Amino acid sequence: MSGHSKWSTIKRKKAKIDAERGKAFTKVIKEITIAARAGGGDPESNPRLRTAVLAAKAVNMPADNVKKAIQKGTGELEGVNYEEITYEGYAPHGVAVFLECTTDNKNRTAPEIRHLFSKYGGNMAENGAVSWVFERKGLITVAREGVDEDAIMEAALEAGAEDVKMEEDDVYEIYTEPSELHTVLDGMEGKGLDIQGAELIRIPTNTVTLDERQAESVLKIIDLFEEHDDVNKVWSNFDIPAEVMEKLGA
């Protein structure tokens, strides 16, 4: 189990649970607001907003919430001024961690993130310390139900995708160059497919394999980062063998 691949499936399931607690809604609203502020309130002409709206759909956010977030971004409604910032560091056992955050007060967020790193056996590092571990890619997820594997492969490659992975039970994972994400998304949507999400991701180019004890401590700190209100995405390069995952009950 790598820091991306199957862990992304667990994160999708966690997102549904988080939505019930409002955490996923808060994070998506921030992204919609920033996207609308940067590129306007029309998803058709603002690719980043389109993907943010897809994220809202994935957590079943009401359309009215989406509309208000867009209006706050465009200035039609009064809203908070969010800032995007990244943090890098190491979890226990040398696992690289890259955090993408959105905050209205980085003077609050930075010490809180540093505290989580240090309290749970890791350490925060300077920007650039671990970013080199990760390769940027575009990822589009498409519902598998009713879609033939050959058909999705053909549609993805025609649209300009790099690769299609079929490891998950519920979705196809379509990978693109970062700059081609929205072009490929347009092509896939034109095929009438059920698009579940589209985002820019970071895939580790090397991994750290963990045993059961190590995995418990790393997953603990990863969960804490995921739960922080200002953290949008957590990328890491751990690898947990399947037999260890079974022992952990995951």
Report the pLDDT averaged over residues 152-175: 89
Per-residue pLDDT band for 241 (boundaries 50, 70, 90) equals confident
68-123 pLDDT, tens per residue? 999 999 999 998 889 999 999 999 999 999 999 999 999 999 999 999 999 999 99
In CATH, the number for domain 83-132+209-248 is 3.30.70.980
What's the one-letter identity of residue 70? Answer: I
Select from 3.30.1330.10, 3.40.50.620, 3.30.70.980, 3.30.300.30 the CATH code of 134-204.
3.30.70.980
Helices (H) and strands (E) in the chain, counts: 9, 10
Residue 113 is inside which H or E element, if any? helix 106-119
Output the pLDDT for position 250: 59
Distance, CA of 168 to CA of 229 (rounded, Å): 28
Per-residue pLDDT band for 18 (boundaries 50, 70, 90) equals low
Assess whether pLDDT exceeds 80 at residue 2: no
177-221 pLDDT, tens per residue? 999 999 999 999 888 888 988 999 999 999 999 999 999 999 999
Q: What is the CA radius of gyration of the chain?
A: 18
Cβ neighbours for 30, distance < 8 A, ≥ 6 positions apart = 82, 102, 232
CATH architecture of structural domain 5-74: Orthogonal Bundle (1.10)
Residue with the bigger pLDDT between 59 and 32: it is 32
Assess whether pLDDT exceeds 90 at residue 242: no
Q: What is the mean pLDDT of the chain?
A: 88
Reported pTM:
0.86
What burial class does residue 190 get, using C-beta atoms within 10 Å of its C-beta: 0-12 exposed, 13-18 middle, 19+ buried? Answer: exposed
Domain ranges for the chain: 5-74, 83-132+209-248, 134-204
Identical fold, 5-74 and 83-132+209-248: no
Contact (CB, 8 A) for 222 and 236 = yes
DSSP 139-202: EEEEE-TT--HHHHHHHHHHHT-SEEE--SSSEEEEEE-GGGHHHHHHHHHTTT--EEEEEEEE
Assess whether pLDDT exceeds 60 at residue 7: no
Distance, CA of 75 to CA of 144 (rounded, Å): 39
